[in-house]
């Protein structure tokens, strides 16, 4: 009898426990747990969840989070998404994946129809998929400006600074062999000559495992171009540190993801001065509004390991997760994807600094045409490509690491904290 | 063209230094030491820890790296090679596993993010339009000095000649009064030292990262297979073939094809001349 009673109590307890657990809103994180990029998203989401739970949760439920590591590998990324969907049965997924990994798990998202927010991937092809098939892509939102918007404003940097100020007429592109590299290279190649008047002399594609850039820099020099445009999102500290070590006598700018974190100086052993890169916002060296600064203060009080300052996607995760939960509250949860999508599209967080609109976390609507590029960006983060940037923040800024280890924003001029300079060894 | 010549010479010198220790073990111990790349990795990290993190003089960092390399070689021989008593497959599998374990150890201690080593000898000189760092120049000079010293050691000392004898016929060497076990132990120690030294320069030329042992291992395997067993000269020549091949492919063709032709070269030599371009015919 005692055994039967015990069993019944145990069963009841288990049932109650599982019911209580099932009532929690479960968030899945997908990304690399060992990269600064992945950790930025993970930690931004963790802080947002803590704050939401402290305020009573969403729809009367607490929020929990589980993680799935992609290791920045496409196959592992697909497995990770399947794990979150099938084993953990999460309600919502927040992603800190790189472009290739997101492209890998995207078919799984279409299959499982789980609301998903990408905070790092900027591949314009995904936004095109949203425009072409809004129903299938209803669960997907990208709250970083897509690479088309990043490249467009970078072209302005080319015209305003590289051409007008530095007098550069030609460029050689040195790009990694990834989806991100191909997308940025294509966009820059198409626009630099007609818009900025800078001729693309050559394009050099390299494998992401490359550890010796000396012959590549020699090839770039022999192209006769005035400067190098690098596109590097993986192992970026290698190309930049070798550029400095070899003192390549050409200017180099472009995209260097390793330079987006405060650890860049340490990671390059101090051999990273002179490197400039476009960066989504907020970047290193970018002044913050009070709300975002509050997030950073909480972050730095909570985490002591790298990255000491969250990358831009950490901010995207922090604000974006709160917006996703607010949308779920309006839609009665995440199950009705269409309702959640409609509520998510209405999210619009405007953050001011010194009385000026500083950051805006909103989304482009379906059919809404961006005036500079004359195209649509449905479910993509809202951005502004025209000074004085009073509709939203610019899609990117250009930051430059100086040879003394400091870093600042050099473009757009409205956000600049320092001037663009050539490294001391470049004549 | 001059740039290709200069960069080819510099890279080849580094490759020769890296491959020399691997060639010694393969020639004398008849073992494919698949943990050889780990000597380079550990050597690079020891140097980083001593000279860059603790701020000790660079020479102390290099000395520490070489010392740890020697210890690793000696321990590996005593604990794995000797214990497995000439079972080459078991030794190769064990050394491969050991490399993976060492990689995990490095991740545990230093984390898995890449580290950039400051140049051991800072500075750059422009030669015929090519940027040449003093670092790679010194690595190449040291490489040549080490290779010449090794050549003189093998040809001119009693231990060196004993190494040659064991390499050719271990049983015959034993009958002549040579202790093959002792010679093997010395060889593993020298190999560890050469690997660690190569690792310091390789890492300062490229970067430090936990899986960095794979690339030098592939280079070493390529050089030794193509060069053949027991030939210091062959190792030197093939290191230059591989180095120049890589620089030419990157400079005039496609950087993403850099390692492909090295692999094709290995396959070609294995098919056409299994003993390698400069190796001796094995009689057993």
A163 and A255 together in one domain = yes
Question: Can you give the CATH number for the domain in which A252 is found?
Answer: 3.40.50.2300
The stretch A321-348 carries a mean pLDDT of 98
Domain assignment present for A271: yes
Q: Mean pLDDT throughout A57-61? A: 94
Q: What is the 3-state secondary structure (H, E, C) of A164-201?
A: CCCCCCEEEEEEECCHHHHHHHHHHHHHHHHHHCCEEE
* Percent share of chain A, pLDDT over 90: 71
Residue A3: pLDDT over 60: no
Give the pLDDT confidence score for residue B168 in this predicted structure. Answer: 77
Q: What is the number of structural domains in chain A?
A: 2
Residue range A34-54: mean pLDDT, rounded = 95
* Mean pLDDT in residue range B129-138: 81
Residue of higher predicted confidence among B253 and A306: A306
Over its C-alpha atoms, chain A yields an Rg (Å, rounded) of 23
Closest to A215 (Cβ–Cβ): which among B7, B52, B256? B7
Per-residue pLDDT at A35: 85
Q: What is the pLDDT at residue A164?
A: 94
pLDDT at B214: 83
Residues in chain A with CB shorter than 8 Å from the CB of B253 are none
Which among B204, B43, B17 has a CA at the least distance from the CA of A245? B204
Last residue of a domain, one of A351, A377, A403: A351
| pLDDT score for B284 | 46
Question: In the A/B pair of chains, how many CB contacts fall below 8 A?
Answer: 94
- Residue A377 within any structural domain of the chain: no
Same domain, A137 and A191: no
* pLDDT for A19 beyond 50: no
Q: Are residues A271 and B118 in contact, defined by beta-carbon separation less than 8 angstroms?
A: yes
Which carries the bigger pLDDT value, residue B268 or residue A78? A78
CA B30/CA B17 separation, integer angstroms = 20
Give me the mean pLDDT over the A184-212 stretch.
87
Q: And the tokens for A272?
A: 């990273």
- For range B154-162, the mean pLDDT: 86
Average pLDDT, chain A: 90
| Residue A420 within a domain | no
d(CA A109, CA B210): 33
**What is residue B280's predicted lDDT score, i.e. its pLDDT?**
61
- pLDDT given for residue B282 in this prediction: 54
| pLDDT at residue A7 in the model | 45
Q: State whether A210 and B7 contact (CB < 8 Å).
A: no
Would an 8 Å CB–CB cutoff place A243 in contact with chain B? no
The residues in B 188-227 lying below 8 A from A, measured between CB atoms, are 205-207, 212, 215
In a 13 Å sphere around the CA of A58, the CA atoms on its Cβ side amount to 27
- What is residue A13's predicted lDDT score, i.e. its pLDDT? 46
Could you tell me which of B77, B84, B90, B64 has the C-alpha nearest to residue B36?
B77
Q: Which residues pair with A95 in a beta bridge?
A: A30, A118
Cis ω before B105 (30° cut-off from 0): no
Asked whether residue A426 is domain-assigned, the answer is no
Mean pLDDT of chain B: 83
Report the gap between the CA of B30 and the closest CA in chain A (Å).
31
Co-location of A301 and A261 in the same domain = no
Asked if residue A408 and residue A273 are part of one domain, the reply reads yes
State the best of A185, A241, A245 to mutate against chain B, taking most chain B CBs within 10 Å: A245
In whole angstroms, give the CA distance from residue B241 to residue B243. Answer: 6
Assign B279 a pLDDT band (cuts: 50, 70, 90).
low
Q: How far is A49 from A44, CA to CA, in rounded Å?
A: 9
Residue A205 phi, psi (nearest 5): -105, 135
A351 by DSSP, 3-state: which?
Answer: strand
Q: What is the pLDDT of residue A417?
A: 92
> Which 3 state secondary structure label does DSSP give A261?
coil
Which helix (H) or strand (E) covers residue A349, if one does?
Answer: strand A348-353
H-run or E-run covering B216: helix B214-227
A141 and A18 assigned to the same domain:
yes
**CA B33 – CA B194 distance, rounded (Å):** 14
Please tell me the distance in Å from A258's CA to the nearest CA on chain B: 11
Provide the residue range defining the domain that includes A185: 148-285+395-415
Q: Is the pLDDT of residue A306 over 50?
A: yes
Summarised one tens digit per residue, pLDDT across range B205-224 is 888 888 888 888 888 888 88
């Amino acid at each position: 009898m005692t055994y039967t009673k015990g069993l019944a109590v145990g069963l009841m307890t288990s049932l109650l426990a599982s019911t209580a657990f099932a009532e929690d809103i479960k968030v899945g994180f997908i990304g690399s747990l060992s990269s600064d990029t992945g950790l930025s998203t993970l930690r931004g989401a963790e802080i947002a969840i803590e704050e939401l739970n402290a305020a009573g949760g969403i729809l009367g439920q607490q929020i929990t989070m589980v993680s799935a590591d992609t290791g920045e590998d496409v196959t592992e990324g697909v497995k990770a998404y399947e794990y979150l969907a099938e084993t953990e049965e999460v309600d919502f997924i927040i992603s800190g994946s790189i472009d290739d990994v997101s492209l890998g798990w995207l078919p799984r998202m279409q299959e499982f129809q789980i609301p998903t927010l990408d905070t790092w991937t900027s591949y314009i092809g995904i936004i095109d998929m949203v425009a072409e098939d809004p129903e299938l892509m209803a669960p997907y939102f990208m709250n970083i400006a897509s690479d088309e918007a990043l490249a467009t404003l970078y072209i302005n940097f080319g015209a305003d600074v590289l051409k007008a100020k530095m007098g550069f007429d030609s460029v050689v592109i040195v790009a990694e062999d990834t989806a991100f590299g191909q997308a940025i290279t294509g966009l820059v190649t198409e626009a630099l000559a007609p818009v900025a008047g800078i001729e693309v002399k050559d394009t050099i594609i390299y494998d992401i495992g490359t550890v010796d850039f000396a012959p590549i820099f020699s090839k770039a020099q022999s192209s006769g171009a005035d400067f190098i445009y690098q596109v590097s999102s993986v192992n970026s500290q290698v190309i930049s540190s070798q550029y400095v070590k070899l003192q390549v006598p050409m200017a180099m700018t472009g995209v260097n993801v390793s330079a987006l974190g405060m650890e860049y100086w340490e990671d390059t052993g101090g051999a990273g001065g002179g490197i400039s890169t476009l960066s989504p916002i907020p970047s290193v060296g970018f002044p913050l509004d009070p709300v975002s600064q509050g997030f950073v203060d909480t972050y730095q009080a909570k985490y002591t390991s790298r990255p000491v300052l969250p990358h831009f996607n950490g901010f995207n995760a922090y604000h974006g997760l709160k917006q996703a939960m607010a949308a779920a509250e309006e839609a009665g949860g995440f199950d009705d994807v269409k309702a959640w999508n409609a509520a998510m599209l209405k999210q619009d967080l405007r953050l001011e600094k010194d009385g000026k609109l500083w950051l805006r976390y909103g989304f482009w609507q379906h059919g809404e045409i961006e005036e500079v590029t004359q195209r649509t960006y449905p479910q993509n983060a809202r951005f502004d490509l025209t000074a004085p940037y009073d509709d939203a923040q610019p899609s990117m800024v250009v930051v430059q690491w100086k040879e003394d280890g400091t870093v600042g924003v050099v473009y757009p001029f409205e956000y600049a904290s320092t001037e663009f300079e050539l490294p001391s060894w470049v004549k | 063209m001059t740039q290709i010549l200069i960069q080819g010479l510099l890279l080849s010198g580094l490759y020769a230094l890296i491959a020399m220790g691997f060639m010694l073990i393969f020639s004398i111990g008849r073992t494919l030491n698949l943990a050889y790349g780990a000597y380079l990795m550990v050597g690079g990290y020891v140097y980083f820890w001593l000279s860059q993190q603790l701020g000790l003089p660079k020479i102390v960092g290099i000395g520490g790296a070489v010392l740890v390399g020697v210890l690793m070689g000696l321990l590996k021989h005593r604990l794995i090679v000797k214990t497995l008593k000439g079972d080459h497959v078991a030794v190769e599998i064990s050394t491969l596993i050991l490399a993976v374990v060492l990689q995990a150890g490095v991740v545990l201690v230093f984390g898995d993010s890449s580290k950039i080593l400051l140049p051991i000898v800072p500075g750059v000189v422009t030669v015929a339009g090519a940027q040449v760092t003093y670092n790679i120049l010194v690595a190449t000079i040291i490489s040549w000095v080490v290779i010449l010293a090794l050549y003189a050691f093998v040809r001119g000392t009693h231990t060196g000649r004993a190494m040659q004898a064991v390499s050719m016929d271990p049983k015959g060497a034993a009958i002549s009064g040579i202790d093959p076990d002792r010679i093997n132990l010395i060889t593993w120690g020298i190999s560890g030292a050469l690997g660690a030294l190569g690792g310091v320069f390789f890492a300062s030329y490229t970067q430090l990262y936990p899986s960095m042992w794979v690339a030098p291992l592939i280079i070493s395997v390529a050089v030794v297979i193509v060069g053949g067993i027991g030939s210091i000269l062959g190792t030197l020549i093939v290191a230059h073939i591989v180095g120049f091949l890589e620089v030419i492919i990157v400079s005039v063709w496609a950087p993403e094809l850099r390692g492909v032709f090295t692999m094709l070269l290995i396959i070609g030599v294995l098919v056409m001349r299994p003993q390698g371009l400069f190796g001796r015919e094995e009689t057993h």
